[in-house]
Amino acid sequence: MNWIILIIAGLFEVAFASCLGKAKETSGTESYYWFAGFLVTMTISMLLLIKATQTLPIGTAYAVWTGIGAVGTALMGIIFFKDPISFWRIFFIITLIGSVVGLKAVSSH
């Protein structure tokens, strides 16, 4: 169950990074709404990470959380923020995914 909580925490990390990106692109009241979304999703992500680390090793949980956030944010950047796409970028995203799956596979929990 804590692995599911950790995955959800990672998805909220993607959400808070995306909100931060949108806040940067907008101005006025709209940017404040995106910043508020950033604060809410960051808080949820951190609380879920804390919950997951009650039974999962902190090193593994943090690495998986940041890996999900890094992969998700990179993909969001490519899809929604027009970040450049290249062979090497996709290659390293795939190796990150492999690393996250590997950490899950070798975890004793």
What pLDDT is stored for residue 34 in this prediction?
Answer: 97
Of the candidates 25, 75, 69, 21, the residue with the CA atom closest to the CA atom of residue 45:
69
Give dist(CA 58, CA 73) in Å, integer: 22
User: The dihedral of CA 59, 5, 101, 74: what is its sign?
Assistant: negative
What pLDDT is stored for residue 103 in this prediction?
Answer: 87
Contacts of 9 (CB under 8 A, 6+ apart): 44, 45, 46, 48, 49, 51, 52, 65, 68
What pLDDT is stored for residue 109 in this prediction?
Answer: 57
Enter the tokens of residue 3: 């692995």
pTM, to two decimals: 0.88
pLDDT in tens, 6-52: 999 999 999 999 999 999 999 999 999 999 999 999 999 999 999 99
Give dist(CA 84, CA 47) in Å, integer: 32
